[in-house]
Chain A
Amino acid sequence: MVAYLIRRLFFFVPIVFGVMLLTFVLFFVVQSPDAMARRVLGPKATPKAVENWLHNRGYDKPLLLNRTGQAPWHDSLFLNQMGRLARFDLGKSDVTNRPLAEDFREGALPSLLLTVPAFFVGLALSVVFALYLVFIRNGVVDLAASLACVALMSVPVMVYIIAGQFLVAQVLNYFPAFGFQLEGFSTAKFLLLPVALMVVSGLGADVRLFRAMFIEEMGQDYIRTARAKGVSSALVLLRHVFKNGLINLITLVVASLPFLIMGSVVLENFFGIPGLGNKLFSAIQAPDFAVVQASVFLGSLLYLGGLLLTDICYAWADPRIRLQ
């Protein structure tokens, strides 16, 4: 097991390198560092200011390899930055000059406070609904629920948010319709609405998916065996279908776990939650390459972490699998 994990970790190094190279190319193919400086400095910036800005951040160096002959070949923008990332130094924002490690540290907790409850509540609800739909499958309620799920899926999340905020701010007034304060237990009152909306907006697709997965499981021979043993339908679902379905669920769900830390763009924007959700998004728009790069770097580590976690959970949940 340990040997397996170590081998996987070695496989990850070239992937991270590839991801960073791809990001670099994608970003600087889209816009030269020059264009980026213009965006940051605004339409009134003079060429001299642009040049100075680029120089201060090292963006005036050759992009991939230094072939000017005046400096060592590795003194290029990409390689310098890879070197920095290899030391886990995330660098500073191009726009605000603030150390990014600090930005990410500050944003992680609010993001997690939003996504973790939403994720688990959503997961639990979807699984319960899906199990219930499998229980009454092929009936009228099942069909109606299918329609409802597709309807939930086709309504964009913005509409949920606007409706939800309107309801809370114009009718109920029970708790704030906007805002965020980290202050112990009462933080919850700010999270109630966004968490609920996140759950609702994800529910349709998840219920459909899980229902399909559980139905698939229902057709298996061992379900027939269990029923032949006299196990009640409810227990067949809760015990046999659920545990086997769980294994499929793990591949889908666990890989996305590390990404909870990245928050949710739309919800964080609408509710003023100071999370990491729109970090990447607004960095692409700003544009702030340093932030994009750091986000992608962390993102790829999280993704690979998710893969590893999936492997481990898989081995834990499915007795047939041993990691070698």
Chain B
Amino acid sequence: MPFRRHPRRPLFFAAAFRGLLLLSVLGVGGCSNSPHPEPLAEKSENGAPWKARYSALPEDPRSLDPQVTYDNVSRRIMEPVQECLLEYHPFKTDPYELRPCLLTQLPVRTEREGGGISYQCELKSGILFHDDPCFPGGKGRELEAKDVEFAFQRMADPKVECPVVSTLQDYIEGLGETFEAARKSGEFDYSKPLSGLKVTGRYTFEIRLKEAYPQLLYWLAMHFTSPVAREAVEYYDGKTHEGVARELFRFHPVATGPFRIAEWKRNTRIRLQRNPGYRTTAFPTEGWEAAQEGLLRPLAGRALPLVDEVSFTIFRESIPIFLLFRQGYLDGMGVGKDAFSSLITPSKDLSAKYLERGVTLHRDTEPSTYFMSINMEDPVLGPNKKLRQALSAAFNAQGYLDVFFNSVPIVAEQLLPPGIAGYQKDFRNPYAFNLEKAKALMVEAGYPGGRDASGKTLELTLDTNGGSADERLMAEFEQRQFEAIGIKVKVIENPFARLMEKMDQGSFQISAGSGWGADYPDPENFFFLYYSKNLPPTGKNHSRYKNPEFDRLFETMATMENSPEREQIARKLNMILSEDVPHLLTLHRSVFGLTQPWAPRVQSNPMLEGGLKYAVVDEALREKLRGDWNRKPLWPALLLAACVVSAGTFALNVYRRS
């Protein structure tokens, strides 16, 4: 092995010096620390500066097929791309209000002779699909009633796997029968019209129901009923692709929304670009809170969308979101537990550091309720109403929120969340946390101090969804609550599917972490959880609650149109549940969100999943503040270079000395 007897020192130093220079240039010089690629364009068609919004997304959407998409993540991408027949008004959330989107007006209800109900609908004319190679010439064609028919047919196609077909088949004519027939034959015949949806003209169609179901309108504001162009499905899911790799239809939506997907890099980002042909809706001219007058009035009546690009970056861990928000590379973020303490002051305001930066804090409450289910068929808990009430009174929901949710959400006092018809603002849970009352109730329940007549300690099991560190701590917290009234609680951690299985089979006593998020803002969507005809495995009455009085009232209420009477019944249902305690209520989920000064929030309707078509951005302000927030100090680079050079010199010396 030849080796150099006299290593040439100057050469080494020259190299080190050059490395230092390179590093300085690379680090401190022009190199941008932006995680985002350049925007899709520099100027929009009318010559205005390109406006882009930057958001975070936790994972890739699973499917963007409107008839399939059910999870929140996918819906966030779905919402700006694919529009529904109806939509929620962006500003009216108490109560929620529907307004037409693809339709010219809300559907008109008519009674059919021989029973059954029809809804007459009419599409707006002149709505165009996105430009896409699946259409002749690549130009999007006009939306017609047959596209709605195709969408309804797809719901009935077992191969499509529409998750809500088993719910809708109870109401829409022919849906269930067609589904079953296709399952048997293995093939769906799209040439046969569906009896539940009748095309009556180029733009008009009729939806036929077996019985009264006013909630249908809410379904028309969901993507399952969104029209689909048959060409697109045939083009992307067709058997022959002429050797060219093509995305499946479920990853390549062709729709009529204000945005279209311009780029989808798996696991990295999704970029939406404004649909230049979009004319369907405009910015609402009324309905906002007075406080927002100054911000929203100038926008009223403007063509949507208000930005040219929306870029979603995928973050599988939440910590980097906070870092990038601080650098100005995200326009908004939800305040998770991790970042909470650094952002929010004890009085639930934004900390001064961020107020100075012009950041705004928002609190959003979702139409959802979380609770622990009690198994009403359990021999110990089922017959003993006092015991259930004692459990409810022993559980410190506020403490639970303080420890695990930074006291952001609202303690749930009733099954219905705020904003849903029947929610009682002044209602207080009679068995809310009160340790003394709980102990008294334990005596009434026959377990004074947690011991039964024979002096044996009462033992209950608590099934939880085991997994993360937080879930462990929650289980320990819950355990402690019941131990305070002398009950010994055994925690069983289950994998999610096992927990579901146990809940379906009814093999549990108390199950932690149940909850229900509204599919649509209607009391029926919550009370049906305790309807006795809705028992598992087909239904979701996991508490196995059976009460004839409750059932009777529920049946009446379910098919009523919203009215004061209906609210009365909802209140009665609420009282019954509060007294019977088939569940231990915990919270209505709410979160804090932050927005940067250049991207003020225009709407906060949780049913809209972002409402990106209303979003605005001040590009120039962002550019300036980003520069201010990302200064690059020189000293660390010099320090590092000095370390490298001295280490190199040292190594050289060691080698020479030997």
Contact = CB atoms under 8 A, between A and B. Distances in A.
A168 B637 CA distance: 12
Interface stretch (A16-24, A90-98, A197-205): A90-98
Contacts of A171: 633, 636
Interface in B148-204: 158-159, 161, 163, 165-167, 183
Interface string A19-54: 000000000001100011011011111111100110
Interface size on B, as a range, is 35 or more
Contacts of A42: 70-71
Interface in B215-271: 245, 248, 250-251, 265-268
Given A173-B631, A272-B314, A234 B655 contact: yes
B62 A95 contact: yes
B33 interface: yes
A172 B636 CA distance: 7
A43 B517 CA distance: 11
Contacts of B279: none
Interface stretch (A80-88, A174-182, A252-260, A305-313): A174-182
A244 interface: no
A56 interface: yes
B327 interface: yes
Given A39-B497, A53-B161, A132-B654, A98 B251 contact: yes
A271 B320 CA distance: 8
A31 B37 CA distance: 42
B35 A274 contact: no
A165 B631 contact: no
A93 to B, nearest CB: 9
A233 interface: yes
Contacts of A181: 37, 268
B139 interface: no
B563 interface: no
A279 B165 CA distance: 31
B632 A174 contact: yes
A71 interface: no
B28 interface: yes
Contacts of B33: 168-169, 173-177
A169 B323 contact: yes
A142 interface: no
Contacts of A176: 32-35
B655 to A, nearest CB: 5
B304 to A, nearest CB: 29
Interface string B319-351: 110011011000000000000000000000000
A170 interface: yes
Contacts of A46: 163, 166-167, 538
Contacts of B28: 174
Contacts of B317: 269-270
B658 A49 contact: no
A201 to B, nearest CB: 16
Contacts of B319: 162, 165, 270
B516 to A, nearest CB: 9
A61 interface: no
Contact of B267 (A102, A107, A189): A107
Contact of A174 (B3, B27, B159, B315): B27
Interface in A264-309: 268-272, 274-275, 278, 287
A172 B633 contact: yes
A253 B326 CA distance: 41
B427 interface: no
B243 to A, nearest CB: 15
A43 B495 contact: no
Given A45-B163, A232-B658, A166 B540 contact: no
A318 interface: no
B658 A189 contact: no
A42 B515 CA distance: 12
B501 A52 contact: no
Contact of B31 (A175, A179, A234): A175
Contacts of A103: 266
A132 B37 CA distance: 43
Given A31-B498, A176-B34, A56 B161 contact: yes
A45 B163 CA distance: 7
A124 interface: no
A98 to B, nearest CB: 7
A175 B158 contact: no
Contacts of A169: 33, 323-324, 326-327
B29 to A, nearest CB: 9
A89 interface: no
Contact of B316 (A36, A38, A55, A269): A269
B275 interface: no
Interface string B606-638: 000000000000000000000000111100110
B497 A44 contact: no
A322 interface: no
B496 A39 contact: yes
Contact of B538 (A47, A190, A233): A47
Given A36-B497, A175-B27, A176-B33, A274 B268 contact: yes
Contacts of B313: 179, 272
Contact of B320 (A174, A178, A234): A178
17 contacts: A39-B497, A46-B538, A52-B183, A56-B159, A106-B266, A166-B323, A171-B636, A174-B632, A174-B637, A175-B33, A176-B32, A176-B35, A179-B35, A179-B268, A190-B35, A272-B267, A278-B316
The 7 closest A-B pairs by CB, nearest first: A179-B35, A274-B267, A35-B497, A234-B658, A174-B27, A169-B323, A178-B320
Interface of B: 1, 3, 26-28, 31-37, 60, 62-63, 70-71, 158-159, 161, 163, 165-167, 183, 245, 248, 250-251, 265-268, 313-317, 319-320, 323-324, 326-327, 495-498, 500-501, 519, 537-538, 540, 630-633, 636-637, 651, 654-655, 658
Given A179-B36, A271-B320, 12 more contacts: A35-B500, A39-B497, A106-B266, A107-B266, A107-B267, A135-B654, A165-B319, A174-B27, A177-B323, A232-B658, A268-B316, A269-B317
